[in-house]
A = this chain, B = another copy of it.
Amino acid sequence: MTKLAGVVGFRGYSGQELVSLLQSHPRMEPVLMEHRADSGERPQPRNWKGPRRIAASAEAVNKEGVEVVFLATPPDVSMELALPMLEAGAKVIDLSGAFRLGTADNYKRWYKEEHTQPELLKEACYGLPELYREKINGARLVANPGCYPTAANLAIRPLVECGVADLGVGIVCDAKSGVSGAGRKPSLKTSFCEVTDNFSAYSILDHRHVAEVLMNSSLEETQFSFTAHLLPIHRGILETIYFRARAGMSAEALVEIYEERYGKEPFVRVYEPGRVPDISSAARTNHCDIGVKFDAETGRGVVISVIDNLVKGAAGQAVQNMNLVLGFAETDGLQ
């Protein structure tokens, strides 16, 4: 028998993707949790029946027996709803940045506002399964990672841990994302005519997501340069990561490091030396695809890391986390 998974923010792009993934999940069934009817829904055929709708309230969670609540909402809404959902007995997987940064101070520094739930912040588990699977297993509250940091940490952390990258030189991460990463709320910046035929850099050196990379890849700010860019496509992230390696490194050895780390991971795929994925490689999948180009003579290396921002970068990883929290097979509903 399937259990209920509530989705708050189901009209947004991550929320839509979540509902779609949950509809084909073998053990869960989605319910739409109405919080604020703030944007339009697409026209549907006659007799179309979407998932059931309930209120985004503790009462509804109790009454319906909702097992897990996904918050595909802005940080302020997540801070408002997480506690009542937990107290009503649901597990909570939050897709916003509200619970990712460990401390209220750190949150304030990067999000420029007070954290209203510092106690919950302590309890929250950072939901990058490839790094923190054990902790996620028993968590009540999972902070689903940001899209950029998912692709960045999976590519960078092995370089740091294995001492491959010269941190004196530092690491550069040049990140490009499709427009759905900016959400579904209309704005001039995401209007068709402003985005098509165009390409732009934003949040140069000061993107909020940087904090998640520093924390999870053990980097100092001075060792890491990050620029986000807006691609004229719907979905997908490609990050081009530059580093300099210690002497004696080779392309083969680099790939081996990733292979060793991720060889058994269902959702990380590594490419042969010199071959790299593009955004199509991971589109509409929960994969993070990683390829390496290395120049042994000079020690310069480039890693290409690709995800679909709405799947491995949001809804897919949230389902992966749900599977861990509820004790399902990690790949349920994701293949």
Contact = CB atoms under 8 A, between A and B. Distances in A.
Nearest to A13: B193
B200 A238 contact: yes
A2 interface: no
Given A191-B191, A205-B293, A238-B200, A43 B244 contact: no
Interface string A269-307: 111100111111101000001000101001110101000
B280 A197 contact: yes
Contacts of A206: 295
B205 A176 contact: no
A327 interface: no
A274 to B, nearest CB: 8
A135 to B, nearest CB: 28
A52 interface: no
Contacts of A170: 169, 244, 300
A159 B304 CA distance: 27
B188 A184 contact: yes
A225 interface: yes
Interface string A169-186: 110101010011000101
- Kindly name the residue among A169, A191, A195, A295 whose own CB sees the greatest number of chain B CB atoms within 10 A: A191
Number of copies of this chain that the complex holds: 4
B193 A180 contact: yes
Size category of the binding interface on chain A: 35 or more
Interface stretch (A85-93, A122-130, A229-237): A229-237
A270 B46 CA distance: 6
Given A43-B281, A192-B179, A236 B199 contact: yes
Contacts of A248: none
B188 A186 contact: yes
A193 B225 contact: no
Contacts of A276: 43, 200-201, 204
Nearest to A177: B199
Closest 9 CB pairs of A and B: A200-B278, A45-B269, A174-B174, A204-B293, A222-B298, A186-B186, A192-B195, A179-B192, A199-B279
Given A48-B269, A199-B236, 13 more contacts: A42-B280, A45-B281, A46-B255, A172-B242, A186-B187, A191-B191, A196-B196, A197-B235, A197-B236, A201-B304, A205-B300, A222-B300, A225-B302
